A and B are shown apart, each in its own frame.
Chain A
Amino acid sequence: MGDGVPQRQGDAGRQADRALSAGWSAKAARLGEEGQVAMRSGFAWGMAGALGVCALAALTSAPAQAQSDPPIRIGQTLSLTGPFAQTGLAHQIASEIFVDRLNRSGGLLGRKVEYVVLDDQSKPDISRTLYERLVTADKVDLILGPYGTAAILAAMTVAQRYHKVFIENTLGQPQLATYPWHFSATIGGPDSTSTLPVKVLDAYASTPHPPKNVMIVASKFPSAADMARGMERAVKARKMPLAGFLEYDAGTRDFGPLAARIKDADPDFMFVACLGVEGDLLLEALNKIGYRPHRHFYLYPSGLLAANPLAEGATSYSGFEDVEPYIATKEGGEFARAFDERAKKAGLPYPHVDSQAGNEYAGWQILIAGVKATGSLDDQKIAEWLDKNSVETIEGKRDFSGRSHTSATDMQQLKQAQHGRWVVVWPSDRRTPGAELVAP
């Protein structure tokens, strides 16, 4: 061993002399000690070789390391049970599809992504508690917002406390999101209570027999109530008669008396600012007293509304469905097919992708775009990047330049239940091929 080391040093010195005779000779002369130079050159070559070997090893073992590295954990609560369960399940399926796709394409920052989802039972207080758990006990790296305005607002307080970037996709009242690191994946723009009612009335005004009066039926759930007031303003602005404004408590299950009032007023157009199964229950109550609405819109319906024969002709807002034009892009088409397949397996009554699932997917796209762009899981860096940039999603580009980091424009379209399926009917340039808004 004692001979070997000097020999290597000598060899290295000779190699260094040969290889670096031109570039390093001046330095060698300056130092005046050839041996020292040779030793330093040898050390440099050794380091270079070692680095090369390391780099080669790193390249060849990268997949193995990605597998062995702990996954990036992204947490969320969803209403997997309770009144919003049908919608919550659609959000879960969309998330799982996104994460599977992400992992198949190499994961995130060279690591796999693990999706941690907890059931908040459609209750905001439980959602808040579970987000505490996700951040403090489960120690997730990043979070995504839950489903529904109340749960989002509850969870946002936790995100703010722990300085987590907070991307949600169903906040009905963006003006309440004052947390600077909040970013919205919703498609309604900064104030959809002003823009959506106008779109709805414009759409029906374009039909051969526009409605002459409007009845508003609204849940007292905050986001639904806000939208109902927006519709009231839009109706008054057009000087259309209001056939009635009926409010009911969130959680109402007996729609019999409400149905009797609707039947009595017999409005041309019924705007129902409802959530989940409320729309279905109202239609059943109307059916029990032998009444079918002429034209009807439902704000946040359950996915199964389209499959309900009583809902034929009902409209709602949309940002994504499994029909053209949404599925024209590669990612949109693959997502829609994957969703429909999983929804059938999960036993969803309406096994088709819709804007709820589309919003969820877009939320993931926004978060992952932030992580990839910054190359980091640092919430502050991600928030700062999102604040200054826009992200292309399956529902269109989000720029976060609207109030409370919403998109600057309302990107919502209108869909209509036709033969048990939602099809896009408005605006005319975004219609599903062959589909038209059907109104008597």
Chain B
Amino acid sequence: MPSLSLIEQSVITGLLTGGLYGLLALGLSMSWGLLRLVNLGHFAIALLGAYLTWFMGTQLGIPPWWAGLIIVAAFFIYGIALHWVFMRFAVTEMASMLITFALAVIIEATLQFIWTADFRRYETAWGSQSWVVGSLYFPKLNLIAFLVAALLAGGTWAWLRYTYVGRAMRACAEDAPIATAFGINHRRLSFMFSGLCAAYAGVAGVFIALVATLAPSQIWAWVGVVFAVVIIGRLGNPIGALAGGILIGVCEALTMAVVNPSWASLVSFSVLIALLLFRPRWV
């Protein structure tokens, strides 16, 4: 029988892992829900951000927060450029999935070509440190990643809900022609929003570099679980993305603690299927 401290520590671990899932899911959920583009390249871009953070930190001596600023700015521009391509060729929701899948494969191959398939670790002084509260340990970088995820999710939710631009974006997602009739420049907003989603991938990438081991094939390790998180959290719902991430993360950690570690990979889709079957009001 697992002890209470094991359960508590597992919940904390799951919570913090869930924060990273939420951070990854945020951009995908926004893009899918509000731009109607299923961006599978989001995972690849996040990992590219992680590699760039690692490279800048270990080869160029640029600290991760400066690297993060550079990456976020560059990815914002990339997001705009990608959306321009989508609009130029009138890419549909389904087609966007195929195109961005191809993009992810290309990015994976490029990462492997440049940095090989070797594992890469970004060793930092904080990497092995934890804050201790009673008998519980909070790894510092994981906790910071969680807080940033919460901040971004909350900030995005408030922006969409309380600002004119945010409400306009939601209106466009609801019915673009009507929103345009009311004087909303849908085109300009969507460019900005696409850039924002890519920038979220950049933020996720910085934290992935700091807390995880990097390998090009890691892109695909997240696809299943983050898709489940996005659907559980509802499309275009930033708070939902974080909540979904936490739910999956905690369930995985508890499965590892109480049942068997190797069963953790079954958790995300089991939770998704269970929620879709019983359809709580918020799914």
Binding site for B on A (CB under 8 A): 81-83, 85, 121-122, 220, 246-249, 251-254, 256-258, 260-261, 263-264, 277, 281, 284, 287-290
Contacts and interface: CB of A to CB of B under 8 A. Distances in A.
A251 B218 CA distance: 10
Contacts of B10: 257, 260
A401 to B, nearest CB: 37
Nearest to B116: A81
Interface stretch (B28-36, B86-94, B156-164, B259-267): B259-267
A194 to B, nearest CB: 24
A257 B137 CA distance: 12
Contacts of A290: 130, 132, 137
B260 A82 contact: no
Interface of B: 2-3, 5-6, 9-10, 13-14, 17, 112, 116-119, 128, 130, 132, 137, 139, 212-213, 215, 218, 221, 252-253, 256-257, 260-262, 264-265
A335 to B, nearest CB: 26
B118 A85 contact: yes
A246 to B, nearest CB: 5
Given A81-B118, A287-B128, A289-B130, A257 B262 contact: no
Contacts of B116: 81-82, 85
A257 B253 contact: yes
Contacts of B13: 256-257, 260
A258 B13 CA distance: 10
Given A81-B116, A257-B10, A249 B213 contact: no
Contact of B213 (A247, A253, A257, A288): A253
A257 B130 contact: no
A375 B240 CA distance: 72
A121 B130 contact: no
Given A246-B261, A256-B17, A258-B261, A82 B117 contact: yes
A260 B262 contact: no
29 contacts: A81-B117, A82-B117, A82-B118, A82-B119, A82-B215, A83-B215, A85-B117, A121-B112, A246-B261, A247-B261, A248-B261, A253-B218, A254-B17, A256-B17, A256-B139, A257-B10, A257-B13, A257-B252, A257-B261, A258-B256, A258-B261, A261-B2, A261-B261, A263-B9, A277-B213, A284-B128, A288-B137, A288-B139, A289-B9
Given A85-B119, A246-B260, A257-B261, 10 more contacts: A82-B215, A121-B112, A246-B261, A247-B260, A252-B261, A253-B213, A257-B14, A260-B6, A264-B6, A287-B128
Contacts of A254: 17, 212
B117 A220 contact: no
Nearest to B261: A248
A247 to B, nearest CB: 4
A256 B260 contact: no
A261 B6 contact: yes
A251 B119 CA distance: 11
A260 B139 contact: no
Contact of B117 (A122, A247, A248, A257): A122
Contacts, number: 86
B215 A260 contact: no
The 10 closest A-B pairs by CB, nearest first: A257-B256, A264-B6, A81-B116, A82-B117, A81-B117, A289-B137, A256-B13, A260-B9, A247-B262, A121-B117
Contacts of A256: 13, 17, 139, 253
A257 B14 CA distance: 8
Contacts of A264: 2-3, 5-6, 9, 257
B32 to A, nearest CB: 26
A288 B14 contact: no
B115 to A, nearest CB: 9
A344 B95 CA distance: 51
A305 to B, nearest CB: 14
A218 to B, nearest CB: 9
Nearest to B258: A261
B38 to A, nearest CB: 26
A97 B67 CA distance: 41
Interface centre among A257, A281, A289 (most CB of B within 10 A): A257
B225 to A, nearest CB: 11
B119 to A, nearest CB: 6
B132 A83 contact: no
Contacts of A249: 262, 265
Nearest to A287: B128
B256 A261 contact: yes
B247 to A, nearest CB: 16
A256 B249 CA distance: 12
A284 B130 CA distance: 12
Contacts of A284: 128
Contacts of B212: 253-254
